[in-house]
Amino acid sequence: MRTLRTLLLLFAALMLACATRSAFDCPSMRSMERKTELRTFRHPNGAVFARGRGLDASWDDEYELWGSNYKREVPATRVGKWEYFYPDGAKKAEVTYALSCYIQCCTPGPCPQIHDYPVGAFVLWYPSGRKLGEGSFVTMTQHINTSCSGGDDTKIGRLSPTSRFWREDGQPMTVEEARAAGYLFAGW
């Protein structure tokens, strides 16, 4: 009986720890950014698909290639400037990323969830080399539902209203048209 009471008290303490967050649950994003490594990912034909710095491979996730019907792994935690390429080697995009964190409540206690988000300037190109778009991201705070009571806040990047896109013939295109045509990365 005493063991059961001890286990119940331990369980209650764990649940309480999960429901109350301290400001130190997420690791320092600056220290995480220093733990990156140069990463290169390839198309099925062997040509480079994406290149940049990211956390080690244990953080990788599947990512749907833009305009493709197959999936490749690229890091879920990209940091700094990344370059993306078409299968023929032509440059597709330059995008910069930063890290953010939010807390999930897991069985052993608070679990930091580290993710990347786009920041700063970006440039997109058509396979011909003509510019498809350019602009920047505005960093915002977004509240998300988590398994913790009350959820948590995290940082995200949203396209700036001053970002511009063009059709291949050079005529202006709206962000909605670029998104509908599949030219933008997921979440943009």
For residue 69, what pLDDT is reported? Answer: 42
Confirm whether 70 is domain-assigned: yes
Asked whether residue 185 is assigned to any structural domain, the reply reads no
Give the distance from CA 96 to its chain's centroid. 11
Determine, yes or no, domain membership for 188.
no
In a domain, 92, yes or no: yes
The answer to whether residue 187 sits within a structural domain is no
Query: What local confidence, expressed as pLDDT, does residue 103 receive?
Result: 87
| Torsion angle, alpha carbons of 13, 18, 23, 28, to 10 | 120
* Residue 118: inside a domain: yes
Spatial distance between the Cα atoms of 146 and 143, rounded to a whole number of angstroms: 9
Q: How far apart are CA 74 and CA 38, in angstroms?
A: 12
Number of domains within the chain: 1
Tokens of 84: 């993306």
Residue 160, in any domain of the structure = yes
Alpha-carbon gap, residue 76 to 87, rounded angstroms: 21
Q: What is the mean pLDDT of each run of 10 residues along the chain (188 residues)?
A: 51 44 60 77 91 72 46 68 95 94 83 88 97 97 89 93 96 96 89
Q: Is the dihedral of CA 157, 161, 164, 167 positive or negative?
A: positive
Q: What was the pLDDT predicted at 66?
A: 45
Q: Which helix (H) or strand (E) holds 64?
A: strand 60-64
Residue ranges making up the domain that contains 138: 2-180
